[in-house]
Amino acid sequence: MGTINRLPAMTGATDSTAGTAGLVPQPQAGDEAKFLNGAGTWAEAGGGGGTDGSLQAFYTENKSDKSTISVTKDVYSDIPDMDKTITPTSTGSKFLFVFSGSISNTLGQLVIDFFVDDCPISQSFQFISSLPDILGNSVWAGTQNVHCGYIMDVYEPNSDKEFTVKVKVTSTENSDVFVNSTYADTNNINNTRMFSQLNILEIL
Partner 1 sequence: MKNTLNYVKYSDIENWGSLDIGSQTQVAPYFIDQKLLTNSPTDTSYDIIMAVVNGACNNGMALNIHENSSDPLYAHDATDAGASLSMMFGNNIANISNAGIFAKSASTDISSYYMGGGLQNISVSNTTATWRTNTNMTSTSDSASAVQSMLLVLSLSVGGGLLQAPVISTLDTATATDTSAGSWFDTGLTATITPTDSTSTLLIIGTITCCGFSTGYEPIFRFDRDGSPILTGDTAGSRNTSTLISRQANNALNGIPFFYTVSSGSTAETTIKLQASHQNSSTEELFINQSRQLLDNDRFKAGISQLAVYELKGVA
| Contacts with partner 1, residue ranges (CB under 8 A) | 33, 44-47, 52-60, 64-66, 74, 94, 96, 98, 100, 102, 109, 122-130, 133-135, 137, 139-154, 172, 180-181, 185, 187-195, 197, 199, 201, 203
Least distance between partner 1 and beta carbon 25 (Å) = 19
Least distance between partner 1 and beta carbon 78 (Å) = 19
Query: Quick one: DSSP state of residue 135?
Result: T
Least distance between partner 1 and beta carbon 33 (Å) = 6
Residue 8 or 142 having the CB closest to partner 1: 142
Residue 119 or 135 having the CB closest to partner 1: 135
The separation between CA 23 and the C-alpha centre of its own chain, rounded to angstroms, equals: 39
Residue 40 or 198 having the CB closest to partner 1: 198
C-alpha radius of gyration, the chain, whole number: 24
CA separation (Å) from 163 to 80, 116, 126? 17, 7, 21
CA separation (Å) from 138 to 45, 64, 133? 54, 29, 7
Q: Which residues have CB under 8 Å from 34's CB, separation 6+? A: 27, 42, 43, 44, 45
Least distance between partner 1 and beta carbon 182 (Å) = 8
